[in-house]
Structure 1
Amino acid sequence: MSQKTKTIEVKESIVESVVELNDIQTNVSNTEPEMIILLDEGKALKLSPKTQSHVFYQLGEDDEGKRHIRMSGNEGGGLHTKIWIELDTIFSLLEKQSDKSFKSTVFKPVFKSGSSNNCGFLAAILRSKELGLMVQSEQSIFVHKVSKDYNDNKQRLLISTSFASA
């Protein structure tokens, strides 16, 4: 096989991969709810001890009554994705971690693409006093555990229209 033939095959393979990725990205963007009713907003201190800045988030509900959360902004630096994430998806991931410590990367499956800050920012939100779904592990400030109040806080998020903890 000549060098020219190999180059053409590689280019065709790259083009096919790009087309497949574009199809995936199109499908991902179509899975986000068309309309979300905003229920409440909040802020959480970022995980890094080097900063006192916050990441902002919103709680919303779609037309089927499913609850969603998204990062809506942040103080200081750091890009992030502003997609709505169904709370049931987050609950499912957390419940698989129930008795063990874990890193923020456990949330990678909820983000199809985007910033490397997404997982850490989401973890900060879920560890916030208002949500209380996770707590810091004894191992490190960047390692988490499911909160002992997880079930109560989960139910509150599913039925309440406010983040304010009870």
Structure 2
Amino acid sequence: MNRTDTQYTGHGSEEATVTPAAQPCWLLKTAKAPKLGKHAEGGIAYQIATGSDRQEPMIQIAGNDGGGYFSKEAICFSRVVACLVQHPKGEPFPSKLFQGAFAGRSSNNAGFLAAILRAEGLLAAAPETEGRHLISGDWMAWKAALLAEPGQAINTPPVAQPDSSPESEIAASATEEEKAPPRRGKK
């Protein structure tokens, strides 16, 4: 099963996860995006990096000013784009549309990514539907401009890959349940 690093920042419960090995890359940008919730305070810290081949930006949520979990996995920009392919152009969409970009299971991931994309000028608030977004800006120009940045050499966790299907994850969890001792019923 493909696991990613998840960080606890205050509230709720999240299962422990394993951090994969680091790979060399270039840090292109570190910034903070304002949260999108109506009553939300603070912001979402994030980093944008690229591999040594400088072909694809990777976005990583780095911090949350408030409480709550988020996955610290670096996701390829192409995974973000893939989330929007099936959605009708020009139609508003909710943040949860981005859940497929992450291997991590935190429910905050998609909303935090939407906040980052708004801060980068790639999404805008839908005018007549609260909590929804519209695609804005020139995504290809944004990508080209970022990849042209000189950046700083760093190590980061590998990008989450869609290497496991939902079926294999279900099978893996079934195997784990078989190893657990049987539960006793009420008498």
> What TM-score comes out, normalization by structure 1 length?
0.70
| Offset, 1:144 | 0.5
Q: Higher RCO, 1 or 2 (CA under 8 Å, sep at least 6)?
A: 2
List runs of 5+ in structure 2 lacking aligned partners: 5-17, 152-187
Q: 1:94 to 1:31 in 2, by over 3 A?
A: farther
Alignment check: 8 A CA contact 2:45 2:64 kept: yes
The aligned counterpart of 1:17 is none
Question: Which one has the largest radius of gyration?
Answer: 1
Alignment check: 8 A CA contact 2:27 2:49 kept: yes
Rounded to whole Å, the distance in 2 between the matches of 1:108 and 1:80 is 12
Rounded to whole Å, the distance in 2 between the matches of 1:54 and 1:30 is 24
Rounded to whole Å, the distance in 2 between the matches of 1:159 and 1:96 is 29
1:49-91 CA-to-partner distances (Å, cap 9, x unmatched) read 2123100100111123232110000101121000001112213
* 1:84 alignment partner AA: A
Alignment check: 8 A CA contact 1:55 1:121 kept: yes
> What TM-score comes out, normalization by structure 2 length?
0.63
Q: How does 1:101-116 map onto structure 2 within 5 Å?
A: 101-116=92-107
Q: 1:62 to 1:30 in 2, by over 3 A?
A: farther
1:62 and 2:51 equivalent? yes
| Offset, 1:132 | 0.7
Identify, as 1 or 2, the structure richer in helix: 1
| Offset, 1:141 | 3.5
* 2:47 alignment partner AA: Q
1:44 and 2:33 equivalent? yes
| Offset, 1:26 | 5.6
Alignment check: 8 A CA contact 2:28 2:146 kept: no
The aligned counterpart of 1:35 is 24
SS at match of 1:35: strand
| Offset, 1:122 | 0.5
1:112-140 CA-to-partner distances (Å, cap 9, x unmatched) read 23210000000000011xx1111111233
What is the root-mean-square deviation of aligned Cα atoms in Å? 2.7
